[in-house]
Amino acid sequence: MENLKFLKITNLSWFLAGVLLLTGACTASQTTSKSSASSLISAAPVTKADSPEWPSTFGFGKPATPQEIALLDIDVRPDGKGLPSGSGTVLAGKAVYAVKCAACHGKTGVEGPNNRLVSVAENEAAGTESNKEKTIGNYWPYATTLFDYIRRAMPFNAPGSLTNEEVYALTAFLLNANKIIPAEASINAETLPKVVMPAQKLFVPDDRKGGPEIR
């Protein structure tokens, strides 16, 4: 176990030093002198075990190869990073939707029985008195999320079974059904991140700060 050799704090990498700045101050008793950093996180004391006396590496685990990571790395970001090649049209999506989605979400994405996907006229603005149903049109802030979620979790009874082309097509169909893109639009890795969702402007960061205020 020679990799358990303890290092002095002066020998630790910049990273470990950063960890200590962020976490050391939260230790109940050992490192209270570093309390200047605690305001970065939380006023509440935290019981922690991670110690500056521990080695910079224990050497457990194995390097992960790019090939191994690629098999799992399916997420898609708002800037489009992670989107695969391929494309889909509204028309193609309509056909896939009828076969694989309509039973749960209704013929037009409104009827259910499960989550409503499509906004109806009186229901378009989030935060209004009449809006109790969250839909893609009135509540989803990023179009990329639609691709990501359909690909990882849908259809409910056969998650992960859709091809990338089918996911693109369904994404196009649902964006069109919510009147966000035109019927002739084709959706791909280039066009999807450019779609601006109606609800995006409504999102605000959590403004609760602790303390007595009720928000």
Partner 1 sequence: MKSETEDTPLFHKPLSRRKLLGGAATAAVVLVQTAVGKTVQAAIPEAAVIPDDPTKKQGPLPSELGTRSAYEKPVRKPSDTSSRTPLQDLYGTITPADLHYERHHGGVPTINPEEYELYIHGLVEKPMKFTLSDLKRFPAFSRICFLECSGNFRSNPAGKITPQEIAGLTSQSEWTGVLLSTLFREVGIKPNATWFLAEGSDAAVMTRSIPVKKGLQDGMIAYAQNGEAIRPEQGYPARLFLPGWEGNTSVKWLRRIEFSDAPFMTREETSKYTEPVKDGKIRQFSFDMDARSIITFPTYPVQVEKGWIEIRGIAWSGRGKITKVEVSTDAGKTWQLARLQDPVLDKAHTYFRHLWQWNGTETEIMSRAVDETGYTQPTFNQLVAARGDNKGGYHFNPITTWLIQWDGQVLNKPDK
What residues numbered 28-47 form the site for partner 1, per CB under 8 A?
A: 40-47
Q: Looking only at residues 164 through 183 of this chain, which bind partner 1 when binding is defined by CB under 8 A?
A: none
Running DSSP on this structure, what letter comes out for residue 214?
-
Using CA atoms, how far residue 124 sits from 20, 33, 149, 177, 196, in Å, is 48, 53, 22, 12, 15
Among 8, 33, 60, 85, binds partner 1 (CB under 8 A): 60
Query: Position of tokens 């959706």?
Result: 187
Instruction: Tell me the window of 83-91, 104-112, 186-194, 205-213 that interacts with partner 1 (CB under 8 A).
Output: 205-213
Instruction: Kindly tell me which of 89 and 119 has the beta carbon lying closer to partner 1.
Output: 119
Q: Looking only at residues 87 through 116 of this chain, which bind partner 1 when binding is defined by CB under 8 A?
A: none
Using CA atoms, how far residue 130 sits from 33, 110, 201, in Å, is 54, 16, 19
Instruction: Tell me the window of 20-28, 90-98, 166-174, 177-185 that interacts with partner 1 (CB under 8 A).
Output: 20-28
Instruction: Kindly tell me which of 67 and 85 has the beta carbon lying closer to partner 1.
Output: 67
178 phi, psi to nearest 5 deg: -90, 10
**Phi/psi class of residue 182: alpha, beta or left (left: φ > 0; alpha: ψ in -120 to 50)?**
beta
Among 5, 29, 72, 121, binds partner 1 (CB under 8 A): 72
